[in-house]
Amino acid sequence: MALQDKPPRKSGIAHFLAAAGYSIGGLKRLAGESAFRQEVALIAGLLVLFLIAGASLPEVLGMLAIGLVLIAVEALNTAIEVLVDHLSPGWSQFAKDAKDLGSLAVACTIGALLLYSGVALIW
């Protein structure tokens, strides 16, 4: 694979539009991951619970903010997995460690979402 020259750097509104396009591309890629779809279902289910329980707007927004953090961490975990799979197609300890650490980050974020939701819904 030949190296290509970097495209010229964009600025102003062109940079903003290009960045938005990259984010949409990332979302499309992430949508192919079953873990992402399960996490979106979890966030949607919690949103329904919050609304049924009559949670306040700040409580709902807090849950949604942590949900967005979860999606961001899942995106980073997926990026780690893509890079590791490229660098180490076979099994290696470094690949296992990198993937396990990414998974731990996702699990901690899910724990934070569930902890917040439990406190907000029970209190």
- Residues involved in catalysis: 74
**The token pair that represents 39 in the structure block:** 């996490």
Q: What are phi and psi of 105, to 5 degrees?
A: -60, -40
Q: 59 Cβ partners below 8 Å, 6+ apart?
A: 50, 120
Q: Please say whether the beta carbons of 101 and 51 come within 8 A.
A: no
